[in-house]
Each structure stands twice: as structure tokens, then as C-alpha cells.
Amino acid sequence: MVYLDNSATTKPWPEVLDAYYKVASDYFGNPSSLHHPGVEAETLLSKGRASVAQLLNVNAEEIVFTSGGTESNNTAIKGIAMEHQERGKHLITSSVEHPSVMQAFQALESFGFDVTYVDVDQEGRVSVEDVLHAVREDTILVSIIHVNSELGTINPVEDIAQALTAFPKLFFHTDHVQGAGHVPLNLQGVDLCTISAHKIHGLKGTGVLFVRRGTSLSPLFHGGSQEQQYRAGTENVPGITAMAKALRLSENERQQQNGRLEHLKQNLIHRLQDLEGAVVNTPQRGSAPHIVNVSFPGMKPEVLVQELTRNHIHVSTKSACSSKLQEPSAVLLAAGVGMERASSAIRASFSHDTKEREVDEFVRILQKAVSEMMLVMGEKK
């Protein structure tokens, strides 16, 4: 099997699974309980929080554990909007956000909030100037994705954060789900940041929301004082412990292997550019090392994906949250590449475990599948 859908989810590393099993079986107490098993669980929870904070270079009390990227994004966006709406109801985001961000903003519009969707260039990148131009007196939140989940394009989040310090009354959030473990991010100037465990070889159902000290949020969940009262509910201590280990291992791999992944990406892009009918959408420069998006105008991407998976090659069409919807990529449409490319794109995404021979096999099977599909299309004409 050649698994190249790591932007959708990654395979948990054995050390991560071992950590989860150990904590789930031996330290199963509720961390809010006062008895000894509860105190043991609370100690592990604190260690996990401190570990994540150290890796992100922030304070431990600024780490809020959630069920994943979707909850973290919704908590950040809706939490700021609801808490600070008396000061203003204008929000800013980009036109290429993940559905968990885009739909959160769309939901807020139905509650009377005014949202500006900043346009992007043909590489799917937001400009600092366009973000600043959108800021108004009543703006309370800006949310810009760090690494685009479909194209791999890296947004200038650090520059945006620095520029927005000129507006101390608004908050800045970034979705760092695709960047974590692949593209470093300095959180200076960032008020809220989202990370998901299962994108970094952790387990599904665990995530992080960094909330800068002094930032007030209206919680989505009520019913307990856990997580600094930002997120009620018994903490997933095994998942949190496993996520802390996954983040540490991913960061170690990033520092040692990112050059290798960048080589794999560039090699794949060059080979796709030579493939008949292919149009590469991922920019060669200024993109993450693990994502390559390519269109085959005139072909149905879901048919191509199914043909590949029959040959044990597994890729996707777009973000996993919307991949079952047979619609053009909203990200590619927003980038202005046209309906043909937006309706025919597939995405291959690597992990630190991806081997060069797997990429070779992908190209070989892809070339065969495309040739056969083009032959069928020619016969139908």
C-alpha cells in the first residue's frame, strides 16, 4: 500500500500508541477527582500541557486541549465573536480557509456579524496589504490559515501578526493544522492557534488551541471548569499524553527530514509537469514540503482516485471534510485558476514516513491511469 493522503490523517506512530495505551490502562482516573488515581491523571495532564507549551514556546496556561482542529477553530472564532461583539461585529478571514473555519464564519453571518473574505492570488496566498486594507474600526477578529490544506501554500502569518500589532483591540487567529510538524511558526503576535493531533501521527479526537494570556473567549461547552473554563468536559488524558509525544517526535523529524520531504515534493512536481494532461497547482516555492496538488482538466478526480486506490495508491481530491462532495474545489476557484482545474484536482500528501520508492510507484500508476482515461475520453469523442 502507498498511502499519500497524510493531509487528511496520518498513521499513529508506535511510540504514540504505546503512550496512549499505558495511560489509558494504568492512569484512568478523572483528573478532576481528589483521590490518588485522579491526582495521578492530573499530574500526567499537567506534564502533557507543559510539554506542548515548551514545543510551541508559550506558557503552559495558554494551552487548551480540545477534541481536534474543528473544535479548536470553532472555539477560537465563535468564542471571540460572542465575547467581544459589543465592541464590534466585523470579522476578517480569507477565501481559502478550511471548512471548519469557513463555515464557522458563515454561521456567524447568520447572527448578524459582518465578514470580509480576503481574496488570494493564483497560488492561493493572502497578502499582508489586503488583510490590513480590510481592517475597520469595528473589526474584532482576523483568522488566516497558515498552510493551505489543499495547495500547501504558506501564508505570511508571521508578517500578518506583526502588522496587526498596530490594532491592539483586535485578535488574530491562525489555523496551523497543516503546518504543525512541517512548517515552523513563531507565535509572537498570534492570539489563538489551532493544532490537531491526527495530522502529526497522533490520535483522532485530540487537539490544541493556544490562547494567549489575557485573551477572553466565550466557551462553546458549559458544565465544568476544566481547561481554564474555556472547554468544559473531562480531559482526554491518554490522548493528550499521546499528542504531546506525537508533537515532539514530529518536531524532531521536521528538523531532521524536511529537506528530504522538500526533495520528494520538488521531484514529484517536476515529474507531474512532464505528465500529459497534468497542471500542477501547488507553487514550487513558498509551499509546505508535504503537499502536491495537480489537476487533470476534463477528467473526474473521484474516478481517478478510485482507479488509483484499486492499485493500492491512496490520495484524495481535496480537504477530507469536503472530499465526498462532488463539487469543484472552493480553494482553487478562489485562487482563480478556472472551473476546469478546480473540478479535476487531486492531492498527494506526504508524511515523514513516506519513501521515495512510494512516490515513484504513485507516478507510475498515475501515468498509466491517466493514459487509459484519456484513451477512453478520446474514443467517446
Indicate which residues carry an active-site annotation: 321
Residue type, 324: K
Q: What are phi and psi of 159, to 5 degrees?
A: -70, -40
Radius of gyration of the chain (CA): 21
Kindly state the DSSP code that residue 147 receives in the 8-state scheme. Answer: B
End-to-end CA distance of the chain: 35
Residue 22: HSE in the Cβ half-sphere, 13 Å Cα cutoff: 12
Q: How far is CA 163 from the centre of its chain?
A: 23
d(CA 238, CA 123): 39
Q: Which three cell numbers stand for residue 340?
A: 476546469
d(CA 20, CA 206): 12
Q: Are 103 and 61 in contact (CB under 8 A)?
A: no
d(CA 13, CA 203): 9
Evaluate the CA torsion angle 11, 15, 16, 17 in order and state its sign: positive
d(CA 307, CA 111): 44
Cα–Cα distances in Å, from 76 out to 81, 140, 173, 244?
Answer: 8, 12, 7, 21
The helix/strand/coil state of 328 is coil
Torsion of CA 250, 74, 126, 7, to 10 degrees: 40
Sequence-separated (6 or more) residues with CB below 8 Å from residue 170: 135, 139, 140, 141, 142, 164
Cα–Cα distances in Å, from 168 out to 88, 94, 242, 260?
Answer: 14, 20, 36, 40
d(CA 177, CA 181): 9
